[in-house]
Amino acid sequence: MYLELSHLKKQFDGKDVVCDLSLTMEKGKLLCILGSSGCGKTTTLNMIGGFLTPDSGKILLDGQDLTRLPPEQRPVSTVFQSYGLFPHMTLLENVIYGLKFRGFSKADARKKGREYLDMVGLADRAGAFIHEISGGQQQRVALARALIVEPKLCLLDEPFCNLDAALRVKMREELKKLQRDLDMTMVFVTHDQEEAMILSDSMAIMEQGHLLQNDTPERIYRNPANDFVKRFLNLDDLIWTQDGKLMKIISHQM
């Protein structure tokens, strides 16, 4: 497997936050880690990214042991909820920020930056500053900045949580297309069941630090591992394509 988490454990103040978590995912797929607030999903993401060190267990990516490496030495990029963009820099300067640590000339970095801004539909705003663009556009800039360094793995921590409902739907579609076009491996953390169902190739459902089920959305929906998973996925009728992809959610709410 491309990404392997093996028996990860993490405690805070003597309390188990992630409990003996093991899961795997294939290259070029999108895994959603799904669960309610406090279930351990963001802690898991932060351990993969190197922002937290596991108390025990291993993290392997493409055969490389990342467990004790600092974030800057990992072939991993992260998009946070707050986006973490620099307000004093233009969009282009934000996007190419990571390239200056990778030996790119200024001209080559700016050329590549414009390509990635074009990829997210913001080539015409390259000279704008962060306060001059919308929340959805800021999210695109953060995504372009994470992808331009060509990481082996891209982590996303509820990146759409600050967007309104209509924009969330649009950004889901754009992210999934970009992920497929680039054949990018992504781990996406969310508490939104519908979001996970639509985006993911596989879903890892967590509760109180434990992994309850890790499978495709269709298999989990049709065969939940236990009553908690069944209740948690309290969705309406779903329509699937023949290859097991979620096509439509039908709501019966009045």
pLDDT, tens digit, 9 for 90 and up, residues 97-140: 989 878 888 999 999 999 999 988 899 999 999 999 988 889 88
Task: Select from 137, 65, 66, 77 the least CA-distant residue to 101.
Answer: 77
Instruction: Report if residue 51 sits inside a domain.
Output: yes
* Angle formed at CA 171 by CA 71 and CA 27, multiple of 5 degrees: 50
For 154-209, how does the pLDDT look when each residue is reduced to its tens digit (9 = 90+)?
999 988 887 888 888 888 888 898 899 889 999 999 998 888 988 999 999 999 99
Instruction: Report if residue 241 sits inside a domain.
Output: no
Rounded distance between C-alpha atoms, residue 159 and residue 200, angstroms: 15
CATH number for the domain spanning 202: value is 3.40.50.300
CA atoms within 13 A on the CB side of 249: 17
Kindly state whether residues 69 and 20 are assigned to the same domain: yes
Domain-ending residue, one of 150, 167, 186: 150
Instruction: Report if residue 251 sits inside a domain.
Output: no
- Domains contained in the chain, number: 2
Kindly state whether residues 173 and 71 are assigned to the same domain: yes
Range list of H helices, the chain: 41-49, 91-95, 106-119, 135-147, 165-182, 193-199, 217-222, 227-232
Kindly state whether residues 140 and 199 are assigned to the same domain: no
Domain span including residue 200: 1-75+152-217+224-233
Task: Select from 49, 38, 112 the least CA-distant residue to 76.
Answer: 49
Taking the complete model, does pTM exceed 0.85, yes or no?
A: yes
**Single-letter code of the amino acid located at 3:** L
Domain-ending residue, one of 93, 118, 150: 150
Instruction: Report if residue 139 sits inside a domain.
Output: yes
Kindly state whether residues 22 and 65 are assigned to the same domain: yes
Beta-carbon neighbour count of residue 205 at 10 Å? 26
Band of pLDDT at residue 150, cut at 50, 70 and 90:
very high
For 132-147, how does the pLDDT look when each residue is reduced to its tens digit (9 = 90+)?
998 888 988 999 999 9
Query: What contacts 24+ positions apart, CB below 8 Å, involve 50-55?
Result: 50/74, 50/76, 51/78, 52/10, 54/8, 54/9, 54/10, 54/18, 55/9, 55/10, 55/11
Q: Is the pLDDT of residue 25 over 90?
A: yes
Phi/psi class of residue 189: alpha, beta or left (left: φ > 0; alpha: ψ in -120 to 50)? beta
